[in-house]
């Protein structure tokens, strides 16, 4: 496969994902996983989850996981193509919405729509969580780390940075 | 339910550099959740919008495809700087995080073969996965007594996580059903 076709695949794949990402980037993680790992064979499941974790550990919006995937697949140009592809469709939609709807105060309508969309979005986010956990927990110790993270988030709503830091230290010390 | 036109849409514009820098600042502060910082920057620090306008904008942006924060940046950029403003705001939001994450990727590629680093990433991956699962559970908890939402939520998980149906199929079937349920049971 030559380089140009890889870049084309990246562009098409992430532009499509952008259009389907109602509920945000986290909601399309299972779809992204199946495209990146199964359809295109760009990387292993474990690599995908590692890149996802790297992007979560970095500052910025969740969409930077796409930048990282593009970089891994086709270097700096791949990162650029993937980022532009995932940004452009949603950019055009948000731009149009702001241009033509921002002077409407339609909060009641938004709330109604949100009540319809939210259960689907939450179902997709939980599916993302299940997929990531399934790949990331290949040992008892990593299963314990995931379980502790879920428990601490539900109990204290603490900053994710604390959990990530603790797990990184535990892993560095050889416990995971 | 009425749609009323706001008469006070501000005509003032904001410099492109200011839009770029504001969202660049937000992006760097955004460890694990950028949204609270977006509200702080737009409503409190720069006073570009009041609370009500911001909630209206955010509610709309959450319905649109794409990341919420990306959409907010485009929305705000457009309102105060037209098309160049939208581009400047989105570029500000993405530029620094993209460079940082590629830098981290480079570090991982260089040192990822070391056992200690591999251990670290097993820990971080398991945590990142747990964070998404925990976030989903927290969001679902709010709907635990909602008899309209729970079947939709369960059906989505079964379709996506169990049967691994394409997302497009789910968005074309379960989503319209959910919207119809909400629409037909709405309180007037």
User: How does DSSP assign A93-126, residue by residue?
Assistant: HHHHHHHHHTTEE-HHHHHHHHHHHHHHHHHHHH
Using 50, 70 and 90 to split pLDDT, how confident is the model at B37? confident
Q: Do B175 and A116 touch (CB under 8 A)?
A: yes
**A10 class by beta-carbon count within 10 Å (0-12 exposed, 13-18 middle, 19+ buried):** buried
Does residue B31 sit in helix, strand or coil? coil
Closest CA to A10 of A99, A96, A90, A79: A79
Selected residues 79-118 of chain B with any CB under 8 Å from a CB in chain A:
79, 83, 86, 90, 93-94, 96-98, 100-102, 104-105, 108, 115-117
Closest residue in chain A to residue B171, using alpha carbons only: A20
High-pLDDT (> 70) share of chain B, %: 91
Q: Please give the mean pLDDT across all residues of chain B.
A: 89
Contact assignment for A63 to B122 by CB distance below 8 Å:
no
Is the pLDDT at B25 greater than 70, yes or no?
Answer: yes
Residue A106 touches chain B, beta carbons under 8 Å: yes
Please list, in sequence order, all residues whose beta carbon lies within 8 angstroms of the beta carbon of residue B114, skipping any fewer than 6 positions away: none
Whether residue A149 and residue B60 make contact (CB cut-off 8 A), yes or no, is no
* Structure confidence at residue A38 (pLDDT): 95
DSSP B53-67: HHHHHHHHHHHSBS-
Distances (CA, A) of A134 to A146, B90, B122: 10, 33, 13
List chain B residues with CB under 8 Å of A105: 3-6, 56
Distance from CA of B45 to the nearest CA of A (A): 19
Asked whether the beta carbons of B118 and A167 are under 8 A apart, the reply is: no
Query: Residue A105's beta-bridge partner residues?
Result: B4
- pLDDT bin (cut points 50, 70, 90) of residue B9 is low
pLDDT at B70 (0 to 100)? 94
pLDDT digit string (tens) for chain A, length 176 residues: 566 799 999 999 999 999 999 989 999 999 999 999 999 999 999 999 999 999 988 888 999 999 999 999 999 999 999 999 999 999 999 999 999 877 777 888 888 898 999 999 999 999 999 999 999 998 899 999 999 999 988 887 667 778 888 888 888 888 87
CA distance A66 to B131: 19
Q: Which residues contact B8 (CB under 8 A, 6 or more apart)?
A: none
Q: Does A132 touch chain B (CB under 8 A)?
A: yes
Whether B152 and A123 have beta carbons less than 8 Å apart is answered as yes
Separation CA B136–CA A124 (nearest Å)? 9
Q: What is the pLDDT of residue A111?
A: 87
pLDDT digits (tens, 9 = 90+) for B96-141: 999 999 999 999 999 999 999 999 999 999 999 999 999 999 999 9
pLDDT for residue B7 is more than 50 = no
Q: Determine whether the interchain pair B161/A24 forms a contact, defined as Cβ–Cβ distance below 8 Å.
A: no
Confidence of residue B144 (pLDDT cuts 50, 70, 90): very high
Give the pLDDT confidence score for residue A75 in this predicted structure: 95
For chain B, the structural domain boundaries read 1-112, 140-188
Using CA atoms, how far apart are residues A118 and A123, in angstroms rounded to an integer?
8
Partner B, chain A 59-98, Cβ-Cβ below 8 Å: 59-65, 67-68, 71-72, 76, 79, 83, 87, 89-91, 93-95, 97-98
Q: Kind and range of the H or E element at B4?
A: strand B4-5
Between chains, do B94 and A87 touch, taking CB under 8 Å as contact? yes
Residue in B1, B75, B127 closest to A163 by CB: B127
Kindly determine whether residue B123 and residue A168, on different chains, have CB atoms separated by under 8 Å: yes
Distance, in Å, from the CA atom of B29 to the CA atom of A93, rounded to the nearest integer, reads: 26
- What does chain A come to in residues? 176
- Indicate if the pLDDT at residue B11 is higher than 60: no
Distance CA B152, CA B188 (A): 23
pLDDT single digits (tens) B39-72: 888 999 999 999 888 988 888 998 999 998 999 9
Which residues from chain A sit within 8 angstroms of residue B132, using beta carbons?
Answer: 26, 29, 125, 128-129, 132
- Average the pLDDT over each of A158-167, B156-165, B166-175 and give the range with the smallest value: A158-167
The pLDDT of residue B1: 43
SS3 B173: helix
Other Cβ atoms less than 10 A from the Cβ of B115: the count is 9
Q: Do the chains contact at B152 and A167, CB–CB below 8 Å?
A: no
pLDDT the model gives residue A166: 86
pLDDT in tens, B83-100: 999 999 999 999 999 999
């Amino acid at each position: 496969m030559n380089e140009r076709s890889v870049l084309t695949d990246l562009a098409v794949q992430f532009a499509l994902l952008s259009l389907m990402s109602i509920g945000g980037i986290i909601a399309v993680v299972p779809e992204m996983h199946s495209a990146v790992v199964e359809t295109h064979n760009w990387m292993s499941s474990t690599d995908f989850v590692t890149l996802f974790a790297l992007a979560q550990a970095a500052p910025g919006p969740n969409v930077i996981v796409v930048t990282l995937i593009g970089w891994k697949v086709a270097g700096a140009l791949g990162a650029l193509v993937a980022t532009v592809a995932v940004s452009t469709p949603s950019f055009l939609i948000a731009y149009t919405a702001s241009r033509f709807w921002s002077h409407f105060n339609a909060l009641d309508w938004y709330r109604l729509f949100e009540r319809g969309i939210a259960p689907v979005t939450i179902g997709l986010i939980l599916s993302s969580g299940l997929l990531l956990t399934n790949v990331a927990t290949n040992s008892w110790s990593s299963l314990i780390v995931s379980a502790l993270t879920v428990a601490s988030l539900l109990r204290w709503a603490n900053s994710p940075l604390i959990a990530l830091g603790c797990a990184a230290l535990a892993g560095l010390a050889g416990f995971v | 339910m009425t749609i009323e036109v706001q008469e006070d849409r501000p005509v003032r514009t904001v410099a492109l550099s200011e839009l770029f820098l504001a969202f660049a600042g937000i992006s760097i502060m955004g460890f694990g959740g950028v949204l609270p910082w977006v509200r702080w920057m737009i409503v409190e620090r720069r006073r570009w919008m009041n609370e009500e306008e911001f909630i209206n904008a955010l509610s709309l942006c959450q319905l649109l495809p794409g990341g919420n924060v990306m959409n907010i940046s485009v929305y705000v950029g457009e309102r105060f700087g037209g098309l160049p403003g939208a581009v400047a705001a989105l570029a500000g939001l993405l530029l620094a995080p993209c460079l940082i994450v590629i830098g981290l990727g480079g570090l991982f590629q260089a040192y990822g073969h070391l056992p200690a680093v591999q251990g670290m990433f097993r820990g971080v991956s398991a945590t990142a996965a747990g964070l998404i699962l925990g976030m989903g559970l927290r969001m679902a908890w709010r709907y635990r007594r909602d008899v309209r939402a729970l079947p939709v939520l369960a059906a989505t998980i079964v379709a996506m996580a169990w049967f691994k149906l394409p997302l497009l199929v789910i968005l074309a079937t379960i989503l319209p059903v959910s919207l119809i349920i909400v629409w037909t049971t709405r309180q007037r």
